[in-house]
Amino acid sequence: MNILLISLGLFVLLNAAVAWTSKATPTRDGFFVADRKSGMWSTAFSISATFLYAFGCIFASVFAYTKGWAGVTWLMIPNLIAVASVGFVGYNLLKDKTLKTGFNFTDVIRNRYQNKTLTWFFTVLYLVSAVYAITANLTGVGIVANYLAPDLNYITVLTVMSVVVLAYTIWGGLKASIRTDMVQMVLLLLVAIVGTSVVVSNVGGLNTVFTNWTSAKPAGLFDPSVLWIPGILLLALLSGSAMADNGLYQRIYALNDQNKVLRTFVLGGLIMIVTMGGLGLMAGAIYSTDIVPGKPHLAGTMVLEQMGGILLLTLFVVALLCASASTIDSALNSAGSITANDLIKSKDPVRTGKIVIAAVMFGSFILASLKIDLWILLTTFGLLRLTIIAPTLYSAISRSVTKTDGWFILAGIATDIVFLTLSKSKVITLTGIQEAYLGALIPLAFIVAGKIYQKIR
């Protein structure tokens, strides 16, 4: 319990110190998009921390233990593609002077299609995505906490996390989120590099680790057992997650520089996959020991505990808490911004946003207390995000769109949701990969159908 309590204490102090210097200007621009003055490096680290999730840290361990080095590689590749693709969308968005003044991607949908129903659909999907992100990260923290301190109440850990992140998010808005993300991600990157180096050295060196790892899990990069799952499946799910992450669009508006946006997102993606790769290698080193984890999720934590020492384990737990906090604060800011700027018109949108942030945090806390499996969360809530991949790309890069396009996109998203509901309820039987890619392609088919209809009409 001591390690977890110390880690929670350090986590509180770290975020309190950074947040204290990051109070937001009490304006819409100040609270929701950091006055549109965010720097390239701080934004890149924030992007990396925001999209990494506790999911990324924990599944680096899962895939390292169950799929080998190829599994870790197929976790890294889709993550880099997903983040870079949002940077490409941002590059196109910032070409438009009207769209540069927005707060959320829903501003793009509203301005381009003039369709309230379609805008509402996007708004609801972004809010659902925010709740999913917060729930998944709180659950991930709970998994590690249960291992480190099984006698410490799961709800107590979630409460500390929730209160700390809620406090600095309400205090500093997106500015505090970006600054705390930067510090948090630097710590996580440090643990991934230094912690992994120490573990690898203590179990016999890099050659020993790879020899034992590949002997235990010999699958190659294009072996069907890793190529399809996690590879091809995660490519769809994570692309959908990125496209539906309004927090990433807020960072585009906060950066507000077309010349830097794509470079910033690629840099953020590279920082993220270096971290994932390091954590995956750390977990893979378990095959050079006699340690047998109770769950694959714990492979990295257990090998660091045994081979890295108490100090590195404590820093790792703090870093994991930080990874979760980064995604949670981003999702909270996103939910507050969307609701205050799109759904509820009030004289004080900042105050409205803060109330919504508190409400979303409470709802997500309740869901996390149910201990829903992380993979189930990804393949249910995550699937909903697939519905807006094609509409997002089309809306961002098309020079000319019409109201008719908007209605076809709306029909495609609605059809896709019905399809995914039927699939999840087993009315129709599909594999996870079929489900994911059909979910991504149905809206695209409606977009194409809409263009054909307008051409022959």
Whether residue 217 is contained in a domain is answered as yes
Range of the domain at 43: 2-373
* CATH classification of the domain holding 242: 1.20.1730.10
Whether residue 274 is contained in a domain is answered as yes
Q: Are the CB atoms for 158 and 142 separated by under 8 Å?
A: yes
Q: Distance of alpha carbon 139 from its chain centroid, rounded? A: 14
Whether residue 205 is contained in a domain is answered as yes
Whether residue 421 is contained in a domain is answered as no
Whether residue 411 is contained in a domain is answered as no
Whether residue 448 is contained in a domain is answered as no
Which candidate, 443, 444, 420, places its Cα nearest to that of 432?
Answer: 420
* pLDDT recorded at residue 378: 62
Judged on CB neighbours under 10 Å (0-12, 13-18, 19+), 38 is: buried
Neighbours of 246 (CB within 10 A): 26
Give dist(CA 79, CA 250) in Å, integer: 19
Give dist(CA 181, CA 381) in Å, integer: 24
Give dist(CA 278, CA 57) in Å, integer: 10
DSSP type of residue 103? S
Give dist(CA 251, CA 185) in Å, integer: 16
Judged on CB neighbours under 10 Å (0-12, 13-18, 19+), 97 is: exposed
Cis ω for the linkage preceding 150 (within 30 of 0):
no
Q: Residue 188 is encoded by which pair of tokens?
A: 């996580």
Q: What is the pLDDT along the chain (457 residues), one digit of tens a residue?
A: 578 888 889 999 988 888 888 887 889 999 999 999 999 999 999 999 989 876 788 889 999 999 999 999 999 999 999 999 999 999 988 988 877 888 999 999 999 999 999 999 899 888 888 888 888 888 888 877 877 788 777 888 899 999 999 999 999 999 999 998 998 899 999 999 999 999 999 999 999 999 999 999 999 999 998 998 888 888 887 887 788 788 999 999 999 999 999 999 999 999 999 999 999 999 999 999 999 998 898 899 899 999 998 899 899 889 888 888 888 999 999 999 999 988 888 889 999 999 999 999 999 999 888 887 766 666 666 677 788 889 998 998 888 899 999 999 999 999 998 998 888 888 888 887 888 888 889 999 999 999 999 999 7
Neighbours of 181 (CB within 10 A): 30
Which candidate, 273, 335, 298, 300, places its Cα nearest to that of 134?
Answer: 335
Q: Could you write out the DSSP letters of every residue in 236-295?
A: HHHHHHHHT-HHHHHHHHHH--HHHHHHHHHHHHHHHHHHHHHHHHHHHGGGGSS---SS
Give dist(CA 384, CA 379) in Å, integer: 9
Q: Count CA atoms closer than 13 A to 452's CA, side-chain side.
A: 6
Judged on CB neighbours under 10 Å (0-12, 13-18, 19+), 89 is: buried
Whether residue 286 is contained in a domain is answered as yes
Q: Residue 398 is encoded by which pair of tokens?
A: 């098309």
Q: Are the CB atoms for 155 and 370 separated by under 8 Å?
A: no
Whether residue 412 is contained in a domain is answered as no
Alpha helices (H) along 339-397? 349-368, 374-385, 389-397
For residue 162, what are the contacts with CB-CB under 8 A and spacing of at least 6?
Answer: 138, 328, 361, 365
* pLDDT recorded at residue 379: 62
Q: Residue 83 is encoded by which pair of tokens?
A: 């983040």
* pLDDT recorded at residue 360: 94
Give dist(CA 457, CA 255) in Å, integer: 42
Q: How many domains does the chain have?
A: 1
Q: Are the CB atoms for 263 and 40 separated by under 8 Å?
A: yes
Q: Could you write out the DSSP letters of every residue in 420-453?
A: HHHHHTTSS---HHHHHHHHHHHHHHHHHHHHHH
